[in-house]
Amino acid sequence: MEFLQDAPQLSHPWRGERLLHALLDRALPAARRAALESDLDALGDYALMAWQRAAVTTRRKPVLTQWDAWGRRVDRIELTTAWQEGSDITTRHAVLASGHEAHEHARLEEFARVYLYHVASEFYTCPLAMTDGAATALKASGNRALIERALPHFLSRDAATFWLSGQWMTETHGGSDVGHTETVARQDADGQWRLHGRKWFSSAVVGEAALALARPEGAGHGSGALALFYVETMDGAQRKPELVIDRLKDKLGTQELPTAEIHLDGLLAWPLGELANGVRQVAPMLNVTRTWNAVCAVASMARAIALARDYAERRQAFGRPLVEQPLHAQTLADMQAEFESAFALAFEVAQLLGRVEHGSAAPHEAALLRLLTPLAKLWTGKLAVRLCSEALECFGGQGYIEDTGLPQLLRDAQVYAIWEGTTNVLSLDALRALAGDGLGALRTVVAAWLQGGDPHAAFAIDAALDAAAGHLDAPSTDRATLEAGARGLALTLARSAAAALLARQAAWAQARGDTRPAAALRRFLGHGLLRLADIDMDDTGLLLG
């Protein structure tokens, strides 16, 4: 009988999950923890079903039809099955609504759901992130009329009334540097604002609303002169004719997500607040979507590692299962250690966000959240690509074969380092946060996280933070040198914070007889915390010359 290799099997993404169980057991009061169980179990069921369905279904991409047979402009987008199910799953399990409940654990409970739903959602989580961010920015604006109009839809628990919101920032000229935004806001004679321009990456074009940056007519140049507007896209069941979908992007990954190029041709708009400082007004949205980015990145890592570990038990080579091959086992354990640390940092940001929003955070925790958000986003984005790539290699040639479902993991992971700001843009944002008291806040909490834990870990983490502080405060450092070293500094701080969080988790788990987080910590520390770069601007010039 010809040999046929068993395919990797996915175990139940919630019931078989260790890290999220431990985190929720540690962080949540018992009643809240129990109340969460049914939603998490159902989302795990959905994730398992989606993986099994994908194995027996031909992959589809969204299709844009711009004109009907009679010449009418229709801009109709046909969605994949998972996308058609998105509003129902989201509202039934309160994925967004839970994050805006009035208690300090709301964000943790939301992101636990996001973590389980993300991969199965086929990046429906992208517009969900935007919707969550829009709800947060609207609340921060204090604009009562818009809050009352949009929030009941954005946070609805009923698919019939649920709305998705986009975030329309990126333009052909204004990408990372949104100060080059060319979309213009003009006021009618009756005072109504309308937007005119082109948006280049719209990932929620099938939604009902969006927040858009635009330059009020006659305002000056640069980002300070931009304003933030709320728009609605639908007129009953029809898309408004002032919103034209030019085409869907042909992307490396996230191919089920219908990212569009659009034109705004006089679309009605309402300013959130003052007619300036739009970037400052959209910042609460950016920080929420960047948290989504980090949690979705660790969800992708979790999936890739789960499949690689299962396969290592099934696949025999040189007379033994892969998992019994020392080098293969070493590789998997290294991946697990990096993943556990990234998980700890991403979910700490989620918890902090909940506490800061609820008003129960300690005074230094707002500065801490401001720093850890870009750190978590940039580090997990890069790590997801590396771990998904390593996971594919664990399958040998099969990892390179499209209908195993594995290559998609790597292609999709590449988005995390780009979506919501590149690694370098986020590193510079971390510098912004460090100009405040971010580092002081980090040192305060790290000392608390390390209390009663492994003294070797504490020594290594303190040394890394000392080195980072020395790098930041070096008297000879000019601005260009500081920026050139910003990525190394950010990665060092991210790894140090993650190690301290893992140390806290390890101490908690060890007291309950579980020594696995302590092993992850030892291995993570073994990979080193320092990523500071030696900056030699002359060499940089020579190499680019």
- What residues line the site for ligand MFK (CB under 6 A)? 123, 126, 169-170, 176, 178-179, 201, 203, 223, 254, 257, 259, 277, 279-280, 283, 286-287, 415, 418-421, 425, 429, 432
Phi, psi angles (nearest 5°) of residue 30? -55, -40
Q: Which is nearer to ligand MFK, 365 or 454 (CB)?
A: 365
C-alpha 280/C-alpha 202 separation (Å) is 20
204, 210 Cβ separation under 8 angstroms: yes
Q: Which is nearer to ligand MFK, 167 or 341 (CB)?
A: 167
Which residue in this structure is represented by tokens 């007291």? Answer: 511
Q: Which is nearer to ligand MFK, 170 or 423 (CB)?
A: 170
Q: How far is the CB of 370 from ligand MFK (least distance, A)?
A: 6
User: Residue with the closest Cβ to ligand MFK?
Assistant: 223
Q: How far is the CB of 46 from ligand MFK (least distance, A)?
A: 19
C-alpha 335/C-alpha 520 separation (Å) is 10
Q: How far is the CB of 426 from ligand MFK (least distance, A)?
A: 7
| 263 closest CA partner among 211, 215, 206, 200 | 200
Q: How far is the CB of 419 from ligand MFK (least distance, A)?
A: 4
Which DSSP helix (H) or strand (E) runs through 292?
helix 278-314
Q: Which is nearer to ligand MFK, 283 or 467 (CB)?
A: 283
Q: Which is nearer to ligand MFK, 64 or 425 (CB)?
A: 425
| 289 closest CA partner among 411, 203, 362 | 203
Which residue in this structure is represented by tokens 């914070």? Answer: 497
Q: By three-state DSSP, how is residue 201 classified?
A: strand
Whole-angstrom CA distances from 173 to 75, 181, 208, 261, 285 are 25, 7, 26, 14, 21
Q: Which is nearer to ligand MFK, 133 or 517 (CB)?
A: 133
Q: How far is the CB of 280 from ligand MFK (least distance, A)?
A: 4
Q: How far is the CB of 533 from ligand MFK (least distance, A)?
A: 21
C-alpha 45/C-alpha 409 separation (Å) is 20
Q: Which is nearer to ligand MFK, 425 or 447 (CB)?
A: 425
HSE toward the beta carbon, residue 149, CA cutoff 13 A: 15
Q: By three-state DSSP, how is residue 353 classified?
A: helix
Q: How far is the CB of 116 from ligand MFK (least distance, A)?
A: 17
HSE toward the beta carbon, residue 201, CA cutoff 13 A: 20
Q: Which is nearer to ligand MFK, 254 or 331 (CB)?
A: 254
Q: By three-state DSSP, how is residue 303 classified?
A: helix
Q: How far is the CB of 45 from ligand MFK (least distance, A)?
A: 24
Whole-angstrom CA distances from 202 to 165, 224, 416, 535 are 10, 23, 16, 37
C-alpha 105/C-alpha 506 separation (Å) is 21
The conformational region for residue 445 under phi > 0 = left, psi -120 to 50 = alpha, else beta, is alpha
Q: Which is nearer to ligand MFK, 232 or 256 (CB)?
A: 256
C-alpha 349/C-alpha 362 separation (Å) is 14
Q: Which is nearer to ligand MFK, 126 or 464 (CB)?
A: 126
C-alpha 38/C-alpha 93 separation (Å) is 9
Which DSSP helix (H) or strand (E) runs through 268?
strand 260-271
Q: How far is the CB of 459 from ligand MFK (least distance, A)?
A: 32
Q: How far is the CB of 528 from ligand MFK (least distance, A)?
A: 28
Q: Which is nearer to ligand MFK, 268 or 425 (CB)?
A: 425
Q: Which is nearer to ligand MFK, 259 or 336 (CB)?
A: 259
Whole-angstrom CA distances from 262 to 242, 404, 440, 528 are 10, 34, 44, 45
Residues 6+ apart with CB under 8 A from 485: 471, 532, 533, 535
Q: How far is the CB of 289 from ligand MFK (least distance, A)?
A: 8
42, 93 Cβ separation under 8 angstroms: yes
Q: How far is the CB of 346 from ligand MFK (least distance, A)?
A: 16
193-202 and 238-239: which strand pairing? Answer: unpaired
Q: Which is nearer to ligand MFK, 292 or 311 (CB)?
A: 292
Q: How far is the CB of 430 from ligand MFK (least distance, A)?
A: 9
Residues 6+ apart with CB under 8 A from 495: 341, 379, 464, 524, 528, 529, 531
